[in-house]
Amino acid sequence: MRRMLAVGMAIALLALSWTPAPTSAAPAAQAVVSGAWRIRADQGDAAISSTLELRISGDTVEGSSGPLDTLGAYPLKLHGARSPTGLHLVAVSEGETVGALDLSIKDNVLTGSGRLFGTPVILSGARAVPADRPPATYDFDPTQFHVLTSNAPAPVLHLVPGDTVRTRTVDNYGRDEKGAPAAMPGNPGTGPFYVDGAMPGDTLVVHILKLTPNRATARMARSLAGTAIEPGYTQKPDPRRTDTWLLEPQNGIARIETPSPRLKDFKVALRPMLGVVGVAPPAGASVSNSDLGEWGGNLDFPEMRQGVTLYLPVFQPGGMLFMGDAHARQGDGEVTGQGLETSMAVEFQVGVIKGENLGQPWSENADDIMVSGVGGSLNDALQRATTGLAKWLKTRYQLDDTDVAAVLGSSLELQIAEVVDPKYHVVARLKKQTLSQIAPIKP
């Protein structure tokens, strides 16, 4: 499966970066115009950055751009012609003409103006220069944490695809590996990490390589959250028992610190995970780390653990990656409103898929492909998860609707990840063994 994804990505990147051989008509124009540009579209009340790919052959220009709308939802296809004064391009999104742009390029600087979705825009840009260094490994010891996810804080590190980071998180109360206060409560996040080359319309890839609880205790609420139970169900937590759990990494287990006689032998296996992994959201928004959405955030999905790869849509230049809210273990739904909340040593690696994303988080481990649906109700979240997985099958495997129905109708698995935060999170899953039975696309 990884080989299939890698081959598909390579084909897509080659298609975007292919430059026609120069013709005698305009070799200079081709050398100047064709290739990747990092652009900024100023709309008056907002400025959106993205990557523009252009290809010129004779007087014909074709291209594509990541989204230039504030939602980050509508990639553009461009076509037009070269004239003595520059380039005139028609913009198309989802098969519909949505505007036109006039561009001028000189000395590797792009300028222009036009209208998109009925709105005047002014464009500026420069050549997208790839990183000129090999991937590296960084040890980053944070001194500040953020309870809001946005593109406002200065990046703590500038990374290139392939870089690996070893760092740490504090718990949801803001306490560090010594149990000392280090940040405001509210799922404080480590970051943001800026990944060079990640632009709106791309996908940020986060490989979680290692997660290790770095202290011997965790905390979890002693009653079920109201959104997880019927309104009439009453609870009376025993005041004699604490919310502390004892972690035994050497034995791979966790125990209740003050168990009742009935649970004195109760123990659970450690399954360290990250509750919060996300990027800066669209439209320059600043959101609480308790929230979740298409940017990721407080997904509280138990599979966000060592060995998983998470794919996130990019809405802001560099992605601006945050992570935190680590749990030594969590049951599906996070029905107490918490997992076993603790601090964590984290090792992760980043990558970028250029020019495409699913518009919502998805992930994979050794056995499964998983698409996250986030919504205001369980039904909304389920529909978004199932729709996202259907889109993934059509994009990755080029299946028609009848084939998609056959695969999902027979093999879909649904998992309720989160029911206690501002939104619900449902995950649609398929086994990679199931996907291995799909015949490859014929060349």
Q: What is the pLDDT of residue 4?
A: 40
Q: Is 381 domain-assigned? A: no
Q: Is 417 domain-assigned? A: no
142 and 346 in contact (C-beta within 8 Å)? no
Q: Is 191 domain-assigned? A: yes
Whether 214 and 161 map to the same domain: the answer is yes
Q: Is 214 domain-assigned? A: yes
Whether 69 and 40 map to the same domain: the answer is yes
Q: Is 49 domain-assigned? A: yes
Whether 100 and 202 map to the same domain: the answer is no
Stretches in the chain below the pLDDT threshold 50? 1-31
Q: What is the pLDDT of residue 248?
A: 96
Helix axes 401-411, 378-397, angle to 10 degrees: 120
Whether 24 and 146 map to the same domain: the answer is no
Q: Is 117 left (phi over 0), alpha (psi -120 to 50) or beta?
A: left
Residue type, 116: L
CB environment 191-204: b (16+ within 10 A), e (fewer): bbbbbbbbbbbbbb
Point out the domain boundary residue: 83, 103, 127. Answer: 127
Point out the domain boundary residue: 357, 381, 414. Answer: 357
Whether 122 and 37 map to the same domain: the answer is yes
Tokens in use for 14?
A: 């080659």
**Domain with 155 in it: what CATH number?**
2.60.120.580
Q: What is the pLDDT of residue 45?
A: 80
**Distance (Å, rounded) from C-alpha 314 to C-alpha 400?**
27
10 Å Cβ neighbour count for 156?
A: 20
Helix axes 378-397, 2-17, angle to 10 degrees: 70
Whether 181 and 320 map to the same domain: the answer is yes
**Distance (Å, rounded) from C-alpha 197 to C-alpha 160?**
7
As for how many domains the chain has, the answer is 2
Q: What is the pLDDT of residue 93?
A: 95
Q: Is 390 domain-assigned? A: no
292-293 vs 296-297, strand pairing mode: antiparallel
pTM metric for this prediction: 0.86
Q: Is 420 domain-assigned? A: no
**Distance (Å, rounded) from C-alpha 312 to C-alpha 209?**
17
User: What is the domain range of residue 72?
Assistant: 2-127
Match 């490859």 to its residue by tokens: 440
In the chain, what is the straight-line distance between the N-terminal and C-terminal CA atoms, in Å?
Answer: 18
Q: What is the pLDDT of residue 5?
A: 41
10 Å Cβ neighbour count for 415?
A: 18
Tens-digit pLDDT profile for residues 25-71? 344 344 478 899 999 999 888 888 899 999 999 889 999 999 998 88
Point out the domain boundary residue: 81, 103, 127. Answer: 127
Q: Is 56 domain-assigned? A: yes
Whether 62 and 149 map to the same domain: the answer is no
Whether 99 and 215 map to the same domain: the answer is no
Q: Which of 231, 225, 176, 251 is nearest to 330 (CA)?
A: 225
Whether 154 and 293 map to the same domain: the answer is yes
Whether 300 and 281 map to the same domain: the answer is yes
Q: Is 303 left (phi over 0), alpha (psi -120 to 50) or beta?
A: alpha
